[in-house]
Structure 1
């Protein structure tokens, strides 16, 4: 405490005593909880974090559910970097679901305030790897996706939508049928190009990380999740959940995020 600060405290104490008021407590300031930035993946949007968001806010955290453009890995990471630099102050915990895991891995070093990474059923690529490559090509894409050409797309690129008929089976198998149908109808597409764009330098080599692994995930194999989490030396929590763990198991996901926040604040 500076001399001026001590003088102010003493003055306030003297005046307070004269008025019969209790003296102000002097001690170490309370630690500020980090801001939690939630990054959704493909075929979802920020509303997929609704249950986790409400729990974190109830526990006193500032939460920002960042938009993810889903246009390309490098451009999406640059968008998140700008978001972090302009919308957050103080420590940040970055949380990424699915493709969002690749985005936070690429954006995590852009802001020195990022203290930790939390992956939820997420891709954790190393530099130079592609998401499709991690899945050994991912099989026949026409069996899983509807391709939609969009204006201004690079040659050969298209938006990918999970076919409505298989969405609940591969993406939301542990959710009520009505909920899965609503999510399928509102899904946001990702460009094919984002899935084949090599990752840049990754933050998990520098920052501590946590991983929520859905053992019933039908779109990102649990064995691949385990492999990526082990490589990143993440603290792993397994939940019996589909690819949307944050929707079907929000308490477990919230617990992991808050564990990361406490460990790094």
Structure 2
């Protein structure tokens, strides 16, 4: 399940959709932390600035949960952001996409384009729900359901949108 996420195709990196769809602001929220890579060379890991995290990634949860999540986040390496993706799972496995229309970091147009492409990408396809339920409920139902039941309950090649509005 992809929720307000990058859905790369084989050979694409997380940076590629950002280049095709201007307007995202993820880069300005990233805070670099210098690290030594396994081969001994210098590198960087990135975390979301803790002060910016609640608004950007947890606008619809209680403030205490948002602050805890900001502190507990795991970094991503600079190399990982630019690394080409392998063959995507959505080509062979049923997948679902939620487009967050108000998320500031990945433009809705980029999310929608990747979800639509994944929906047309193979037997797995990316599906959405007929109505915009909360993403957490959709994830729980998806995790509990068997593959055939989910595939028959949701329309093929559909994406649904969920507007996230801060309190």
- TM-score (norm: length of structure 2): 0.69
Q: Which residue of 2 aligns with 1:212?
A: 98
Q: Which residue of 1 aligns with 2:10?
A: 127
Deviation at 1:181, TM superposition (A): 0.8
Cα distance change of structure 1 residues 239 and 218 upon mapping to structure 2, 3 Å threshold? farther
Q: Which residue of 1 aligns with 2:128?
A: 236
Count of matched residue positions in the alignment of Structure 1 and Structure 2: 140
Q: Which residue of 2 aligns with 1:187?
A: 73
Q: Which residue of 2 aligns with 1:171?
A: 57
**Deviations 1:130-175, CA, capped at 9 Å, x for gaps:** 101111186683x312211123366452110111121111111112
Distance 2:25 2:3 in 1: 23
- Structure 1 residue ranges, 4+ long, deviating more than 6 angstroms after superposition: none
SS for the counterpart of 2:65 is: helix
**Structure with greater contact order relative to length (CA < 8 Å, sep ≥ 6):** 2
Distance 2:83 2:145 in 1: 32
Distance 1:259 1:225 in 2: 25
Distance 2:150 2:17 in 1: 30
Q: Which residue of 2 aligns with 1:151?
A: 36
Q: How does 1:242-261 map to 2 (within 5 A)?
A: 245=135, 250-259=136-145, 261=147
Distance 1:225 1:165 in 2: 25
- TM-score (norm: length of structure 1): 0.46
Bigger fraction of residues in helix: 1
Cα distance change of structure 1 residues 119 and 258 upon mapping to structure 2, 3 Å threshold? farther
Deviation at 1:207, TM superposition (A): 2.9
Distance 2:62 2:45 in 1: 27
SS for the counterpart of 1:170 is: helix
Q: Does the 8 Å CA contact 2:30/2:49 hold for their aligned counterparts?
A: yes
**Deviations 1:103-156, CA, capped at 9 Å, x for gaps:** xxxxxxxxxxxxxxx323322111111101111186683x31221112336645
**Which entry has the higher C-alpha Rg, 1 or 2?**
1
Distance 1:128 1:220 in 2: 19
Cα distance change of structure 1 residues 129 and 158 upon mapping to structure 2, 3 Å threshold? same
Deviation at 1:189, TM superposition (A): 0.6
In structure 1, stretches of 5+ residues that fail to align are 1-117
Q: Which residue of 2 aligns with 1:198?
A: 84
Q: How does 1:13-32 map to 2 (within 5 A)?
A: none
Cα distance change of structure 1 residues 156 and 132 upon mapping to structure 2, 3 Å threshold? farther
